[in-house]
Amino acid sequence: MAAPKTIPPFHPISAPDYLPHDQLRELQSRRLIHMVKRAYEKVELYRNRMNKMGVTPDDIQSIDDIVKLPFTMKVDLRDTYPYGMFASPLKDIVRLHASSGTTGKPIVVAYTKEDLEVWDEVVARSLVGYGVTSQDIVQNAYGYGLFTGGLGLHGGASALGCTVVPISGGNTERQIMIMRDFNVTCCSATPSYFVHIIDKAHRMGINMRDLPIKFGVFGAEPWSEEVRHYIEEEAGIRAFNIYGLSEILGPGVGAECCFQDGMHIFEDHFFPEIIDPATGEPLPDGTEGELVLSTLSKEAMPMLRYRTRDITTIDVEQCPCGRTIRRIRPIRRRSDDMLIVRGVNVFPSQIETGILRVEGASPHFQIVLEKGADGLDRIEVKVEATDAAVDDTVRSVEQFQQKIQQSISQIIGLSVRVTLVQPYTLIRSEGKVNRVVDNRNK
Q: Which residues bind ligand ADP (CB under 6 A)?
A: 99-101, 148, 219-222, 241-246, 308, 310, 331, 334
Provide the 8-state DSSP code for 267. T
Distances (CA, A) of 159 to 93, 97, 117, 121, 388: 20, 20, 9, 7, 43
Q: From the CB of 323, what's the least distance to Zn ion, in Å?
A: 5
128 contributes a contact to Zn ion by CB under 5 A: no
What 8-state DSSP symbol labels residue 166?
Answer: -
Select 128 or 408, whichever has its Cβ closest to Zn ion. 128
Residue 328 near Zn ion by CB under 5 A = no
Q: Tell whether residue 265 is a contact of Zn ion (CB under 5 A).
A: no
Can you tell me the distance from the alpha carbon of 194 to that of 338, in angstroms, rounded to the nearest whole number? 24
The nearer residue to ligand ADP, 294 or 308, going by C-beta atoms, is 308
Task: State how far the Cα of 277 lies from the Cα of 331, in Å rounded to an integer.
Answer: 15
Beta carbon of residue 321, minimum distance to Zn ion (angstroms, whole number): 3
Q: Is residue 21 classed exposed, middle or buried when 0-12, 13-18 and 19+ CB atoms within 10 A define those classes?
A: exposed
Q: Which stretch binds Zn ion (CB under 5 A): 254-262, 277-285, 341-349, 430-438?
A: 254-262
Type and span of the H or E element at 50? helix 44-53
As measured in angstroms, the least distance from the Cβ of 109 to ligand ADP is: 8
Shortest Cβ 153–ligand ADP spacing (Å): 12
Phi, psi (deg, nearest 5) at residue 254: -155, 160
Residue 257: which of Zn ion, ligand ADP, none does it interact with, CB under 5 to 8 A by kind? Zn ion
Q: Which is nearer to ligand ADP, 120 or 221 (CB)?
A: 221
CB 252 within 8 A of CB 266: yes
Residue 127 as a binder of Zn ion (CB under 5 A): the answer is no
Closest CB to ligand ADP among residues 239, 379: 239
* b/e per residue 195-222 (b: at least 16 CB within 10 A): bbbbbbbeeeebebeebbbbbbbbbbbb
* CB distance 370 to 378 below 8 Å: yes
- Binding of Zn ion at residue 329 (CB under 5 A)? no
Give the residue, chosen from 319, 341, 404, 420, that forms a contact with Zn ion under the rule CB under 5 A. Answer: 319
Q: How near is the Cβ of 267 to ligand ADP at its closest, in Å?
A: 17
Query: DSSP label at 427?
Result: P
How many residues of this chain bind Zn ion (CB under 5 A)? 4
- Identity of the residue, 70 or 106, whose beta carbon is nearer to ligand ADP in the bound complex: 106
Among 73, 98, 178, 321, binds Zn ion (CB under 5 A): 321
Which residues of this protein are in contact with Zn ion, per CB under 5 A? 257, 319, 321, 323
